[in-house]
Amino acid sequence: MASATAVTAVGAVVGMASGSEGKTTQTVDVAGATLLAEVPSGAQAQTISDNIGTQASAQQAAAEAAAKAAAEQKAAEEAARQKAAADAQAKADAEKAAKAAEEKRKADEAAANRSKARSAMAATDTSAPPVSVSPGSVQEIAQQIVGDDAQFQCFSQIVKRESGWDYTATNKSSGAYGLVQALPGSKMASAGADWRTNPATQIKWGLNYMNSRYGSPCGAWSFWQSHHWY
């Protein structure tokens, strides 16, 4: 389609031709001239091509930079994840080692206590052999040590069922020993080194045990009636 300028120019030429009969008229292709003028020259085309190439290169460089940044971010996140996992494993290993050390310490302590108890038992076995004491005499000793009649009656009920007032009574299955059947019997060493042969020592230990654990011999007796042990 010709431009408005081209149409006007052609009209003017035609008008001149109709008004001047017999004269040679030269027609100018203004539209064609205008269109040709709009076509870029070789230098301009090269510049446009160069600009397009530059833009494409810039876009490619930007894409590559973005891809590189994303890869670096991903690598950093993976490194952080691996470090966190390593730290957690190190913490777990440290806790496991500490637990094992504590268990070993407790086992060693228990073994040492057993060894001390055996030594104490051996010492009392050789230095203080059992003496002959009648059950009635043992009960009298207990009544003197316990004091309160009501508490003594509760104490007596337990001892009667645990050992029958025999201060050398030994439970063959559990190893419990003495009037109050301490388990192990060596616990009574806290009341005296002669715990194996002296009923008074056993009574003192048993009374202290009932008071500390149940509040009193009657508290221990109440528990014993429900459970048949104390």
pLDDT by residue for the chain (230 residues), tens only, comes to: 444 444 444 444 444 444 444 445 555 555 555 555 566 677 777 888 888 888 888 899 889 999 999 999 999 999 999 999 999 999 999 988 888 888 888 888 776 666 555 555 544 444 455 556 666 799 999 999 999 899 999 999 999 999 999 999 999 999 999 999 999 999 999 999 999 999 999 999 999 999 999 999 999 999 999 999 99
DSSP three-state, residue 188: helix
Residue 82 lies in a domain: yes
Whether 171 and 188 have beta carbons less than 8 Å apart is answered as no
φ, ψ for residue 137, nearest 5 deg: -65, -40
pLDDT for res 20: 47
Domain endpoint, select from 104, 127, 150: 127
Inter-residue contact 220 to 228 (CB < 8 Å): no
pLDDT computed for residue 171 by the predictor = 93
Are 116 and 139 part of one and the same domain?
no
Domain that holds residue 204: 135-227
Name the residue type at position 77: E
pTM exceeding 0.85: no
Distances (CA, A) of 148 to 152, 153, 154, 207: 6, 9, 10, 12
Per residue in 128-142, is it b (16+ CB within 10 Å) or e — as a string?
Answer: beeeebeeeebbebb
Asked if the structure places residue 51 within a domain, the reply is no
207 exposure class (CB count in 10 Å sphere: 0-12, 13-18, 19+):
buried
CATH of the domain at 149: 1.10.530.10
Beta bridge partners of 182: 177
How distant, in Å, are the alpha carbons of 127, 179, 199 from that of 130? 10, 13, 10
3-state SS of 49-88 is HHHHHHHHHHHHHHHHHHHHHHHHHHHHHHHHHHHHHHHH
End residue of a domain, out of 111, 127, 143? 127
- Asked if 222 and 140 sit in the same domain, the reply is yes
- The verdict on 119 and 139 lying in the same domain is no
pLDDT value at position 128?
52
Tokens read off for 230: 């104390």
pLDDT score of 184: 93
Task: Give Cα separations from 223 to 95, 204, 207, 217 (angstroms).
Answer: 40, 20, 15, 10
Q: Do both 179 and 209 map to the same domain?
A: yes
In the prediction, which pLDDT does 133 show?
67
Structural domains in the chain (count): 2
Q: How far are the Cα atoms of 3, 95, 139, 189 from residue 157, in angstroms, in the given order? A: 130, 49, 11, 24
> How many CB atoms lie under 10 A from the CB of residue 209?
19
The residue written with tokens 């000793």 in the block is: 141
